[in-house]
Structure 1
Amino acid sequence: MFLQNISLLNYKNFSDVNFEFDTKINCFVGNNGIGKTNMLDAIYHLSFGKSYFNPIATQNIKHGADFFVIEGNFMLNEREEKIVCSLKRNVKKIIRRNGKTYERLADHIGLLPLVIISPADRDLIIEGSDTRRKFMDGVISQSDRAYLQSLMNYQKVLAQRNALLKYFAANHTFDPGTLSIYNDQLHSYGQEIYEKRANFIEKFEPIFQEQYKLISGESEDVSLVYNSRLHEAELSELLTSNIERDRALQYTSVGIHKDDLDFQIGEYPIKKFGSQGQQKSFLIALKFAQFHFLKALVNTTPILLLDDIFDKLDEHRVAHIITLVEDKNFGQIFISDTHAERTEKIIKEIHQTYKIFPLK
């Protein structure tokens, strides 16, 4: 799969631009703040229907404008796919595939597999469990549409159960019959999600460990530990045994929405015990593992976005990454960098066709 061209209208700092891409390597170069990362985010937007960096959709509209439009033409399994993503203020976002509007944005997820590696990925280490759950869910959802639907159903029922708990507290009442309906639904969706997450980690971790050794060139043990209360008991039992606590808190305190993915080096959290270099290698290995995991499942080579990573890595790790992406297993790659000369020197070592786009 590759992106043939893209056009942006009123997207972030771009008024009206068009680019034709190489099928292998494409580099956006220029000073900080010029829009290099925004270009990568536009490509991400076409794949996921949202920004990787800013969850507030309207903030991706150029200042002073009322809308944005991103249009891209892809070649996917020898057929053309035209994707248009548009947003107007106070109007629901629209994604069109070959002229047809999706009824649900979720139906688009998985069509165009893509992996991004960015300095913002450090949030996976330093932020709370929600960030790491989103990583798991994002990888699984790209290859399992039923999983994404179960996740959406779970969140809907969870919101309803939390609203009911608040209602009970505000009105000094309690109806176990109504609550049990939500418990049954949460259990059904939650158990399915839990089992798929556990299965995912079991298959994903060996790929990740292999990538870490290739990138770091080091032999320390790293691991991904799926942390869930559902290891102890089924969700229906946890909901029943924690009902008094939930009533006091006025929200649901147990369930797959509380799961976490522990990042470990040796047997210790990499957040506290990993060096800066080890943390960088860990995150890049995580994303390269995502790339290989997706490619094997969907039988399509994902697009790879590398956002400003050459500026954040030492020469040793850059050399390892070059060795990896030179492999024929990789497809189209987009790179952003502040130094045009450095970028060209690095990509010449990959021995693939390329284009460089200076942004001013």
Structure 2
Amino acid sequence: MWLKNITLLNFKNYTDADLRFSKAVNAFVGNNGAGKTNLLDAIHYLCLCKGYFNPIDTQQIKSGEDIFLIQGDFDRKEKNEKITCGVKRNQKKQFKRNKKEYDKLASHIGLFPLVMISPYDVNIIMDGSEERRRFMDNVISQTNAQYLDELIAYNKHLLNRNALLKQIALTRRYDPALLQIFDEQLELSGNRIYEKRKLFMQEFIPLFNQYYRFLTDDKEEVALSYLSQLNDHNFGDLLLQSVEKDKVLERTTMGIHKDDLIFSIQDMPLKKFGSQGQQKSFLIALKLAQYAYLQKYKGFKPLLLLDDIFDKLDDHRMHKLMEMVSHHDFGQIFITDTGKERVLNIFDKIQVPVTIFEVDNGVVKHA
């Protein structure tokens, strides 16, 4: 799969833009703030129905305008697919595939798989467990439509149970039979999600280890593991045991919404003891493993978006990464960087052609 072209209208700092891409490596170069990352975000919209950095669609509309439009043509399984995303203030987002609007956006997820690596990803390491669950859910959802439906159902049941706990605290009336109904609904969805996450991590961890060893020449000992309350306990038993605590706190304290991924280096937390370079290598290995997993289950190569990827990587890791993604089993790649000469030098050394687009304050030209 590859993206042949993209057209923008009033998207972020772009009044209009019309770009044609190569099947291999495409690089957007220019100063900070010029709009390079916005181009990657537009590609992300076409593939996953939303921006990578900001979930509020109307905030992507260019200042002073009322609508943004993104349109692109993909070659997917040797068939042309036209994707259109339009957002107008105070109206529902329109998303179309080959001019036909989706009944629900979830139907689009996974058709055009994409992996993006960005400085923003440090949140996966530094922030709370929600970011790491979101990473895990994003990968699985692109390969399993039922998983996304199950997540939506679980979150609905969780809201219902939490609302009941608040009502119990407010009215002092406790209905064990009603709570049991919510527990059974939560347990059913939670167990399904847990099993899918567990199976996913069994496949994903070896892929991650493989890429981290390649990036670092196997010089650093890191570990990735899946932490869940359900690893050692029955979900139904956990809900029963936590009833009194949950009534006091007015929220559900047990369940797969507490799952986490544990990142460590030399048996110590990566968040505290990893250097910036080690943390970035860890994140890149995570995302490359995501790419390999998606490719296996989709049967074709996803898009790979690398935003400001050379920052905080030493020359050795940088060249190892570019050698890997350019020569090995990767498809179309989009890169942003502030230095045109740096990009040209890197790809000249590894003898890979690169198509350069120069970006200046929302204006793009083919270099």
Q: TM-score range by the shorter chain?
A: over 0.9
Aligned-pair CA distance for 1:350 = 4.2
Give secondary structure in 2 for the equivalent of 1:90: coil
The separation in 1 between residues aligned to 2:159 and 2:72, in whole angstroms, is: 36
The CA distance in 1 between the partners of 2:190 and 2:351, in whole Å, is: 47
Per the alignment, residue 302 of structure 2 pairs with: 302
- Per the TM alignment, residue 83 of structure 1 is displaced from its structure 2 partner at its CA by 0.7
Whether the 8 Å contact between 2:40 and 2:334 is mirrored in structure 1 is yes
- Residue 313 of structure 1 aligns with an amino acid whose one-letter code is L
Q: What SS does the corresponding residue of 1:358 show, helix, strand or coil?
A: strand
Q: Deviations over 1:120-174 (max 9, x none)?
A: 1111110000000000000111101111110111011111111111122222211
Shift of 1:344: 1.4
Matches within 5 A, 1:1-360: 1-360=1-360
Deviations 1:255-287 (A, max 9, x none): 111111011113221111222221111111111
2:42–2:51 CA contact under 8 A, matched in 1 = yes
For 2:293 and 2:349, the matched residues in 1 are separated by 26
Moved more, 121-130 or 166-175: 166-175
SS in 2 for 1:326: helix
Distance 1:211 1:51 in 2: 27
Q: Tell me how far 1:176 sits from its aligned partner.
A: 1.4
TM-score norm. by structure 1 comes to 0.97
- 2:289 partner amino acid: A
| Residue type at the aligned position of 1:118 | S
Measured in 1, the distance between the counterparts of 2:351 and 2:45 equals: 29
Asked if 2 retains the 8 angstrom alpha-carbon contact of 1:72 and 1:82, the reply is yes
Task: Name the CA shift for 1:76/1:10 in 2 (closer, same or farther; >3 Å).
Answer: same
> Is this contact kept in 1: 2:306–2:333, CA < 8 A?
yes
Distance 1:2 1:349 in 2: 25
1:97-125 deviation per Cα after TM superposition (whole angstroms, max 9, x unaligned):
11111111111110001111111111111
Paired AA for residue 257 in structure 2:
H
Separation (CA, whole Å) in 2 of partners of 1:350 and 1:105: 40
Contact map agreement 1:325 1:350 (CA 8 A) in 2? no
Distance in structure 1 (CA, Å) of the matches to 2:132 and 2:327: 29
The whole-number CA distance in structure 2 between the counterparts of 1:30 and 1:176 is 62
Gaps of 5+ in 1: none
Moved over 2 A (4+): 218-221, 347-354
User: What is the number of equivalent residue pairs in this alignment?
Assistant: 360
Letter in 2 for 1:190: G
State whether residues 208 and 288 of structure 2, in contact with CA within 8 Å, keep that contact through their aligned partners in structure 1: yes
Counterpart amino acid of residue 268 in structure 1: M
Secondary structure of 1:359's match?
strand
Q: 1:221 to 1:311 in 2, by over 3 A?
A: closer
| Contact 1:326-1:351 at 8 Å conserved across structures | no
The answer as to whether partners of 1:201 and 1:224 remain within 8 angstroms in 2 is: no
SS in 2 for 1:208: helix
Question: What's the secondary structure of 2:327's corresponding residue?
Answer: coil
Return the alpha-carbon distance in structure 2 between the equivalents of residues 237 and 164 of structure 1: 19
CA distance in 2, matches of 1:350, 1:109: 34
Contact 2:277 2:312 survives alignment (8 Å):
no
Q: Quick check: 2:294–2:302 contact (8 Å CA) kept in 1?
A: yes
Tell me if structure 1 keeps the 8 A contact 2:162–2:250.
yes
Unaligned runs of 5+ in 2: 361-367
Q: 1:142 is matched by which residue type in structure 2?
A: Q
Distance 2:263 2:311 in 1: 24
Which residue type is aligned with residue 189 of structure 2? Answer: Y
- Return closer, same or farther for 1:323/1:353 CA change in 2, 3 Å cut-off: closer
Contact 2:344 2:354 survives alignment (8 Å): no
* Root mean square deviation of aligned Cα: 1.2
Question: Residues 72 and 83 of structure 1 are in contact (CA less than 8 Å); yes or no, is this contact kept in structure 2?
Answer: yes
1:53 to 1:26, Cα distance in 2 relative to 1, 3 A = same
Tell me, yes or no, if the aligned pair for 2:276 and 2:312 is still in contact at 8 Å: no
TM-score, normalization by structure 2: 0.96
Separation in 2 of the partners of 1:237 and 1:93? 42
Residue identity opposite 2:323 in structure 1: T
